[in-house]
Amino acid sequence: MFSPPAPSRKQDASETDLAKHDEEDYVEMKEQMYQDKLASLKRQLQQLQEGTLQEYQKRMKKLDQQYKERIRNAELFLQLETEQVERNYIKEKKAAVKEFEDKKVELKENLIAELEEKKKMIENEKLTMELTGDSMEVKPIMTRKLRRRPNDPVPIPDKRRKPAPDIHLHQLNYLLTDEQIMEDLRTLNKLKSPKRPASPSSPEHLPATPAESPAQRFEARIEDGKLYYDKRWYHKSQAIYLESKDNQKLSCVISSVGANEIWVRKTSDSTKMRIYLGQLQRGLFVIRRRSAA
């Protein structure tokens, strides 16, 4: 058989040198790649420090947009909250002013109504005194002083303490209703005045007025904050017509219902009046329903 010739020694040496040369080239190439990467990183670091790095600028632009968007949202929220607070302030201020004005008007109306009621009570007392012939003036008692005889003992002055005037009498008088005052005055006059023949011109022979006639008495009472009058129920804020004995017809609204009286407010001038149950029962005032419109 034929066999290939064995490699010579010179050929083996050349192959060894070639392998060694390739390994040196590989090491040199790796070194060059390392140096290039290191130079690139150094260059990027320098650009980052100078602020010219493209990746840095891109991310900074995104952060800046997020920052501006957040600031804009915060300013919008601040503006919205400020407007809401201002609206609430204006609303509360208007409500406070309105409440103050309403309270002031109500206080004035209540004081006027109380003074008008006191004035009417005094006028009724005066009228009652004139009708019964009684007088509110206190007449002094005339006494005669006799001369003391020489042998008479010296009179001892009376040192009994005079009763203190009742300072609450005037106040208690206004706590009574109009009907109670009239009834008490009539009773006192009957007890104090002596009976005398009645003349045709005396009050006993005069025809009774419709307000004092027993046939003109109406059923009126207050239960559970409501007024029962002439077989009808009336409540607060109800629109009514108020007719007086002098044929005046007023358009009113019931403002409140008390224990023994009601308060009504005139729709014409918003003034208030107090009407007692006794006045309704005796027909001094007549209530009629009317439409709220």
Global model pTM greater than 0.85 = no
Give a yes or no: residue 79 inside a domain.
no
Query: Of 27-36, 202-211, 259-268, which range is least confident?
Result: 202-211
Give a yes or no: residue 30 inside a domain.
no
Query: pLDDT tens, 199-208?
Result: 444 444 444 4
Could you give the angle at which helices 54-132 and 178-192 cross, rounded to 10 degrees? 20
How far apart, in Å, are the Cα atoms of 71 and each of 57, 118, 234? Answer: 21, 70, 64
Domain that holds residue 247: 220-289
Contact criterion met (CB below 8 Å) for 102 and 265: no
> Is 291's pLDDT higher than 80?
no
CATH of the domain at 270: 2.30.30
Give a yes or no: residue 235 inside a domain.
yes
Domain count of the chain? 1
Q: What count of other Cβ atoms lies within 10 Å of the Cβ of residue 68?
A: 10
Give a yes or no: residue 89 inside a domain.
no
> Is 172's pLDDT higher than 70?
no
How far apart, in Å, are the Cα atoms of 95 and each of 84, 88, 98, 100, 134? Answer: 16, 10, 5, 8, 55
Tell me the mean pLDDT in the region 274-292: 85
**pLDDT value of position 101:** 93
Give a yes or no: residue 58 inside a domain.
no
Tokens of 70: 């957040």
